[in-house]
A and B are shown apart, each in its own frame.
Chain A
Amino acid sequence: MRRSAVAAIPWVGFRVGEVPLAVEARLVLGVAWSSDLIEVPLALNCVAGVIVMEGRVVPVFDLGLVPSAWNKVPPGGGDQIVIMGEGEVEAGILASRTETFSAGPPTEGAVRERIPGALREAMLSGVLEARGLAWGVLSVPDALHAAGVPKTYSG
């Protein structure tokens, strides 16, 4: 009997605060340093700024400053920006310790027990195990909507 093979998926992992999060690499347009960030005056508190990428303005959010995304809010900030694109949305998230790895598809359920740091379950689409860690798979549209991006824009 042939064993069914589970295809490895490339992921980009990063930390918000100390919470390990991951998104599929196909959704990541790039990683920039936060020194590229342009502060935007009068913007919402959770808007870290914008970066200009190929002539387009890409908003960058500090998820650590989005209280509705967390059960227990971690410290925000980060020295890197993970720039994601899904559908029409292009947005960045402040992060640190970005890395890439391959792992199987995420599993659903029991997110709260497996992911420390108390990111709300609604922000996650599952959990995956890689490199000895449980990574919360970030639901990009839900996280951006919590930061203030309209649903019509974030998909």
Chain B
Amino acid sequence: MTFPAPAGGGPGGSPEPPGQEPCEPRLSVLTFEAGDFVLGVVSGEVTRLVPPGEALPEGVSVIDTVGLLPRSAVLGRERRRGCSILLAAGAPGGRALAVTASRAGSVRMVEPGRLLPLPGFLFPKENPFMGIIPAGEGDGERPVFVLAGPERILACAGAR
């Protein structure tokens, strides 16, 4: 299954509505469940969703996100691997990366101001996240941890 590229506005962005002043484009984020957490990746970085059993292209590094994450003391859900999300190499010469997911979610258009950065000192190695989208008030959603580019994910997992 190919993943559609976001429309306009640069990587993951969207064009501003007609007749309105140009504003900072919204970020398109593909959410997915990984164990007990909801993660996200910038849609523009996603090449494909790969179902279980299908071989990944040669040379792709795989990070088992589902296995890496701690089991939440609160939720304690199963660590099912439902698909892999193939990400394009972040930089020329960089490695393409696939991350495992329990279940693919949906594409969300996010105001850039709602993506809040997490301090790097919270993490033992590299900060793997671009930021967190807090759960919206009243929408019952869980917070989304948006992954940073492949290099930072690899560094966090100790694979770089």
Please tell me the number of chain B residues within 8 Å of chain A, measured between CB atoms. Answer: 24
A149 at the interface (CB under 8 A from B): yes
Nearest A-chain residue to B37, judged by Cβ: A41
Which residue of A42, A55, A59 contacts B119 across the interface (Cβ within 8 Å)? A59
Asked whether, in the complex, the Cβ of B69 is within 8 Å of the Cβ of A148, the reply is: no
Asked whether, in the complex, the Cβ of A149 is within 8 Å of the Cβ of B121, the reply is: yes
Q: Which of B12-20, B24-32, B45-53, B122-130 contacts the other chain?
A: B122-130
With A50-B132, A52-B134, A55-B116: A43-B143 Cβ-Cβ less than 8 Å: no
CA distance A38 to B69 in the complex (A): 15
Asked whether, in the complex, the Cβ of A57 is within 8 Å of the Cβ of B145, the reply is: no
CA distance A56 to B156 in the complex (A): 24
Question: Which residues of the other chain, B, contact A148 by a CB distance below 8 angstroms?
Answer: 121-122
Question: Which residues of the other chain, A, contact B121 by a CB distance below 8 angstroms?
Answer: 59, 148-150, 153
Nearest A-chain residue to B153, judged by Cβ: A42
State which size class the interface on A falls in. 10 to 19
Which residue of B73, B113, B117, B122 contacts A43 across the interface (Cβ within 8 Å)? B122
Scan A112-155; emit 1 where CB is below 8 A from any B CB, else 0.
Answer: 00000000000000000000000000000000000011100100
CA distance A38 to B132 in the complex (A): 10
B118 at the interface (CB under 8 A from A): yes
B59 to chain A, nearest CB (A): 25
Asked whether, in the complex, the Cβ of B119 is within 8 Å of the Cβ of A38, the reply is: no
Nearest B-chain residue to A52, judged by Cβ: B134
3 smallest A-B Cβ distances: which pairs? A43-B122, A41-B69, A52-B134
Q: List chain A positions with a Cβ less than 8 A from chain B.
A: 38-44, 47, 50, 52, 55-57, 59, 148-150, 153
Query: Apart from A41-B68, A148-B121, A153-B119, what 12 extra A-B contacts exist at CB < 8 Å?
Result: A39-B37, A39-B73, A40-B118, A40-B122, A42-B123, A44-B122, A52-B132, A55-B113, A57-B119, A57-B132, A59-B122, A148-B122
